[in-house]
């Protein structure tokens, strides 16, 4: 059963990524390019990762999503949410809290 991935910001629905109905071709192509770019390595809080696994890629994308939210780049944030929706099919919700300049994210696989 497909469920949409919902991003909550401070308890309110902020963005949704529908898993049913498919993803437009240009968005799918962008997601594939993002994966290809990450094949060359990524930078996480713990340092560089030469060959990131699915979990590490998700952490990287989630960090970029939070940055996009903070910068008001909602279209970019929505694209990144689609990435997480397609690569982490069991993820149901991301609950983000904003406190001053700090973001906290809780992942809900329920």
| Per-residue pLDDT, 76 | 94
* DSSP 8-state assignment for residue 20: T
* DSSP 8-state assignment for residue 89: T
| Per-residue pLDDT, 13 | 95
| Per-residue pLDDT, 34 | 94
Domain boundaries, the chain: 5-108
Rounded to whole angstroms, the Cα distance separating 49 from 57 reads: 10
**What are the backbone dihedrals phi and psi of residue 31, each rounded to the nearest 5 degrees, phi first?**
-65, -40
Rounded to whole angstroms, the Cα distance separating 36 from 10 reads: 33
pTM: 0.88
pLDDT < 70 positions in the chain = 1-2
| Per-residue pLDDT, 2 | 59
């Amino acid at each position: 059963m497909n469920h949409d991935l919902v991003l909550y910001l401070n308890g309110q629905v902020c963005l949704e990524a529908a898993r049913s109905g498919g993803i437009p071709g240009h968005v799918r192509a962008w997601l594939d390019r993002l994966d290809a770019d990450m094949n060359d390595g990524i930078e996480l809080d713990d340092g560089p990762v030469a060959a990131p696994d699915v979990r590490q890629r998700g952490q990287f994308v989630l960090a970029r999503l939070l940055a996009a939210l903070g910068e008001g780049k909602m279209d970019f944030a929505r694209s990144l949410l689609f990435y997480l929706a397609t690569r982490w099919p069991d993820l149901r919700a991301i609950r983000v809290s904003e406190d001053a300049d700090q973001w906290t994210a809780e992942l809900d696989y329920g």
